[in-house]
Structure 1
Amino acid sequence: MPAARVRRHGRTTLLIATAAVLGMVAGTCVGYLIQADREPTELPSLSQPVVAQAKGEGPDPLSAAQDRKVKTDGDLRKLLIERPKGARDGVYATGDQGGWMSLAEYASGFTRPTSAFRNLIGDEFRRAAVTSWRVGSTRSIEIRLVQYRQEEDTAAGSRAESQRSWTEENSTTRSWPIPGTGDGMAYVHTEPARNEGRLPVYSAEAHAWRGDVVMEVWVSDTKPIPKETITDLAERQMGRL
């Protein structure tokens, strides 16, 4: 069998390739010459048309009463609801600085104050305002507004949720939403706390938050506490935030 032929790239192939290159160069030169003889085409302007500004003034700035940030950055004690006429000072001296509750004092109300103190620092506790009073011979009310800096996290919402979760673990507790607060809840404990040598004490509480402020309402009495008592206090207090 004859050996397979190998196709060579000879002289003819080289001539064809050279002619093709010369043709391309010639075409490019002709194109440049034609373009040079033409009148220059005017380019569109780079500037944009000026848009006329709408007439009229902008919206008025919010007043201090409307701007919630202005309210909560001011004297937090002024946002606490006023105690009713005829009410007396609370049973316990609350607030060592005229309505302010220090971090240490606030932490002392938890089951484990030392852990609570550390956690509150981590949550960027800022300050707490408090008011308390007594109605009749046995009922006590205490309201706290606890504010957080919230530079790193939304601690106010987390704190309120934690309080609600802990409260709802009690099977003898009834609960109702606080109108206008989203997830705010009011609680009535149907079983009293009993201590030897003392009258049984019933309690109710409410927890809600708005912005960087957590609201806490605490009510205690030797008689069962109606739902309306705790929900009314909570709703009125949240209305001031």
Structure 2
Amino acid sequence: MRDAVSAADGRLPRRRGRTALLIATAAVLGLVAGIAVGYGVQAERPPTPLPALAQPGLAYPGKALPEGREPDPLSDKEDRSRRTAGDLRKLLIPRPKGAREVDVPTFDGGSLPVDGWMTAADYATEYVDEGSMFEYFAEEDIRRVAGADWERGQYGQIAVRLVQFRSGAGMGAVDFAESQLDYMPESDEGAGYAGDPIKGSGNGRYFVYPVQNKPGYLPLYEARALGYRGDVMFDIHIFDTRPISKRDIRTLAERQLERL
């Protein structure tokens, strides 16, 4: 499958970059929108509702453990499975303080979530080779994608995606996350370094890219966090024309991991 998806190097297509850099004279031209290009998107259909849990409201641990007894990791895994079997949108991190809803896509040529959901086709448009990406999703049996996009400050944007795969012989979330992490150490396609570990995750990393500067354009800053837990992969992006600290992206990543 990997060779069919990307015969050149055997890897999956990378994410698209930010929409076009803002021209420094944008205010003179009357540009008052954010960084992205506006568009409308219609979801194909909502995901099939899942049956309610036999014990709604069950929390982990279900009752206090005897003093000195450690939690059972298997029970913890089962509890996470219950969470991800429900409404995936509820596991998205809440809107950060000071952020606002948007009506334009974050990625160049990409799509916005509709009521918190994205179809596989819509999600594939956020990648450089959307056709190959959609084929990959179909073959890897993607289940659903939940997402949120916000704007912050004058030009800042935040995009969060939770991608869930159906249970099977494959390692959908693991393979997908690792394929994106493969690009990150590269300076031409990624952040140019191996990233920093996300606390509480054995696989997640967060990155702050070098600033992009072009004559006549505002500077472009970018940060990203990637990881997975169980059958769900999370992907978080921050874009801005002002510097983004490691704390900014690390905080969002840790909060998202805690909800999975």
TM-score normalised per structure 2: 0.64
**Shift in Å at residue 122 of structure 1?**
1.2
Q: 1:190: Cα distance to partner?
A: 1.2
- 1:105 equivalent in structure 2: 122
1:178 has 2:195 as partner:
no
**Letter aligned with residue 92 of structure 1:** V
Distance 2:165 2:240 in 1: 30
**One-letter amino acid matched to 2:127:** F
Q: Which has the higher contact order (CA 8 A, sep 6+)?
A: 2
> In the aligned structure 1, how far is the partner of 2:102 from the partner of 2:114?
15
**1:150 aligned to 162, 167, 183, which one?**
167
Name the CA shift for 1:64/1:197 in 2 (closer, same or farther; >3 Å).
farther
| Counterpart contact for 1:190–1:224, Cα < 8 Å | no
Letter in 2 for 1:78: K
Q: Does 1:162 align with 2:174?
A: no
Match of 1:238 in 2: 257
Distance in 2, Cα, partners of 1:207 & 1:218: 9
* CA radius of gyration, larger in: 1
RMSD over aligned Cα, in angstroms?
Answer: 2.1
Structure 1 position 221 matched with structure 2 position 240: yes
Superimposed CA distance per residue, residues 171-191 of structure 1 (whole angstroms, 9 cap, x where no aligned partner): 753421101010110011013
The answer (yes or no) to whether the contact 1:64–1:70 under 8 Å persists in 2 is no
Deviation at 1:62, TM superposition (A): 10
Deviations, residues 62-99 of structure 1 (Å, cap 9, x unaligned): 96443111110110000111113442113624545311
Tell me the SS of whatever aligns to 1:191: coil
Instruction: Report the counterpart of residue 128 of structure 1 in structure 2.
Output: 145
| Greater share of residues in helix | 1
User: For 2:199 and 2:187, how far apart are their aligned partners in 1?
Assistant: 23
Which residue of 62, 68, 92 maps to 2:80?
68
Q: Which letter does structure 2 place at the counterpart of 1:190? A: P
Aligned to 2:38: none
Percent pairwise identity: 40
TM-score (normalised: structure 1): 0.69
Offset of 1:192 from its aligned partner? 1.7
Q: 2:90 aligns with which of 65, 73, 78?
A: 78
Whichever residue aligns with residue 189 of structure 1, its letter is Y
Structure 1 equivalent of residue 99 of structure 2: 87
The structure carrying a bigger strand percent of its residues is 1
